[in-house]
Amino acid sequence: MLSNETAILVNPYRIYTFIDITPIERTSIVYFCQFPMMYTGVAYTACLCIMLGFVTNFCGQLAVLSYRVSNLTENEYDHRIFFRQHTEQHLKVVA
């Protein structure tokens, strides 16, 4: 390298290209374009985890509401107040 020789650039990982990327300019362009691809898997996984958390929370709250309504007894206090509270809770969950 000190005697002005051509540097052979070996790719650190296996990439398939349709052009010759031995010149440093092309290599840097290819690496620059492929660099954001390292983070797409992490971003995809994070979005799925957040969505799964929302769906699980939504289903859990609906299950609790369904359990409360199914266990309604005859001796409960005024049914209009009971259903108003549960309807408000249902609207809060859905909205």
Angle at which helices 79-94 and 37-70 pack, to 10 degrees? Answer: 170
- Range in 4-8, 61-65, 87-91 with the lowest mean pLDDT: 4-8
Give pLDDT tens digits for 32-78: 888 888 899 899 999 999 999 999 998 998 898 888 778 776 666 67
Any idea what the Cα angle at residue 92 is, between residues 86 and 93, rounded to 5°? 90
Domain ranges across the chain? 1-35, 42-94
**Mean pLDDT for the chain?**
80
